[in-house]
Structure 1
Amino acid sequence: MAENTRRNFIKKSALASLMAMSLPEVLSASNTVAFNSENKSLTFVFQGDSITDGNRGRTKDPNHIMGHGYVYSIASSIGADFCKDKHHFINKGISGNTISDLEKRWQHDALDLNPDVISILVGINDVASEIEKKPSAINNLEFESKYRKLIVDSKKVNPAMVLVLCLPFVAAVGKRQNDFEIWNKATTEKAMIIQKLAKEYDTVLVNFPQVLEKAIKKVPAEYWIWDGIHPTVPFHTLMAREWIAAVSKKIHFLKGYSGI
């Protein structure tokens, strides 16, 4: 009985530290980029791991290229509702990727695509490597250094580029129930680094942990995250809504757009 009570407490409060992260100073409306949908077609590039990958197709078949996750929802909504502007959406997420993997392919899979917007969701595989003590594991200082390099390299190529940094998340579901405290601590540390970089470089910050915390107040976490790491279809939709809301503070034509 005591153990069940303890677990319920953890589930309710585990993401509190991430939820408490403040966004206003990062997402200041005064720093909005004047992208007007009536006269500019934008290229959006999405980078990350399996959550971004969404089992996307690896061919040019337009029926599968965006995968079946939050990226698909974002691209389908903006693409349909602002169709006259013919915005271009590219999903370059790869399942299992860490920040080191993104660093290795950043030039070819991000910068060479001439993006106006780059969205990054990474960190949970770095947490896994750290906890499982894999040879490829890096510490938090190295994680920050590599992430910072992606930002700096991107800004060098295009100072006006909109960078969207998304916070990783984890839930006490499935295999993550027994070791949740360890995973949550490590994930929170990565998220705090990303928040720090977002503030330092005035990027968009998307607080997915906060979205999850709010969602599990309505129904249990199992409804939203099926294995402790990967979202269900409903949570991918919540992620897409939050992403659009956050990015709208930097891109004019999305201001007030409800999306999905």
Structure 2
Amino acid sequence: MKRLVFIGDSITDCDRLWDERPEGLGFGFVRMIYDWFQESGQVKEPVRIFNRGNNGFTAFQVKAHLEEDCLKLKPDVVTLLVGINDLYMHIGGAGGYGAEGYGRCLETILQVIKEKNGAAVILMEPFVFPKPLEYAAWEKPLGAFRNELRRLAKTYETGFLPLSDYFQALGRRYSLDELTVDGIHLTEKGHELLAAAWISSYMEGKEYV
């Protein structure tokens, strides 16, 4: 059985601690991926899925909790989405890391997974929508975070989902209100589209560069 672990911030978490179903996967894209595996019949090897996203987490906090939230679960594939809280704290002067510090934390995470576990890793870009409009000003500094992520994905030969580009493209088909509730968190449709992107990448083998 292949073990898939999802780690990151609130977008991954999606109220998992309030999900009373046995898997405790929350109400977002991780739950939708699980449902797809259960219902599609397209995957011969069974999987077990773990949601270890944590509301409010930065890359530093993901790193600090890596053993508990990820490594002890002995994953075969680790999916990581984190960064928007790092940017929020950095812009707001509440500590946090800029793009360089963010990159250092991610690199440590990748090194530890490689050395202690050897799981495949899928990195997903942090993203933001221009709703409210002031979030449009976040796009440039967030680009520096994404550059770090892309560099590390190439260096460590991880899988990579360019979610910023993906949601920008979807913005030509869907209104912002259909995709996001507040400019950062996703609507149910947004989670469906994120789950679809992950499944497509996973099934086509694109996560293994």
TM-score, normalised to structure 2, is 0.91
Between the aligned partners of 1:126 and 1:77, the Cα distance in structure 2 is 31
Preserved CA contact (<8 Å) 1:224 1:231: yes
State the shift of 1:63 in Å.
Answer: 4.8
Aligned equivalent of 1:70: 29
1:222 alignment counterpart: 177
Higher relative contact order (CA 8 A, sep 6+): 1
1:111 maps to amino acid: L
Q: Does 1:56 align with 2:16?
A: yes
Q: Give the fraction of aligned pairs with identical amino acids, expressed as a percent.
A: 26
Amino acid at match of 2:126: P
Are positions 1:180 and 2:140 aligned together? no
Q: What SS is found at the alignment partner of 1:119?
A: strand
What amino acid maps onto 2:193 in structure 1? L
Maintained 8 Å contact 1:56/1:64: no
* 1:162 alignment counterpart: 120
Q: What does 1:52-201 align with in structure 2 at a 5 Å threshold? A: 52-57=12-17, 61-63=20-22, 65-82=24-41, 85-135=45-95, 137-159=96-118, 161-174=119-132, 177-181=133-137, 183-201=138-156
Residues 149-203 of structure 1: CA deviation (Å, up to 9, x unaligned): 10010011233x21010001001113xx12522x111221111111110011111
Structure 2 regions of 5+ residues with no counterpart? none
Deviation string 1:90-146 (CA, Å, 9 cap, x unpaired) is 0000110000100110011101110001000000000100111003x1222221111
Number of positions where the alignment pairs a residue of Structure 1 with one of Structure 2? 206
Q: What is the TM-score with the length of structure 1 in the denominator?
A: 0.74
State the one-letter code of the partner of 1:68: F
| Inter-CA distance 58–228: structure 2 relative to 1 (3 Å threshold) | closer
Task: Please tell me whether the aligned partners of residues 57 and 64 of structure 1 are also in contact (alpha carbons under 8 angstroms).
Answer: no
Structure 1 residues 151, 195: closer, same or farther in 2, change over 3 A? Answer: same
Q: Provide the aligned C-alpha RMSD in A.
A: 1.9
**How far 1:251 sits from its partner (Å)?**
7.8
Cα 1:116–1:49 change in 2 (3 A) is same
Q: 1:61-89 deviations in whole A, cap 9, x for unaligned?
A: 43561101111111110133358743110
Runs of 4+ in 1 over 6 A off after TM superposition: none
Paired residue secondary structure (1:170):
coil
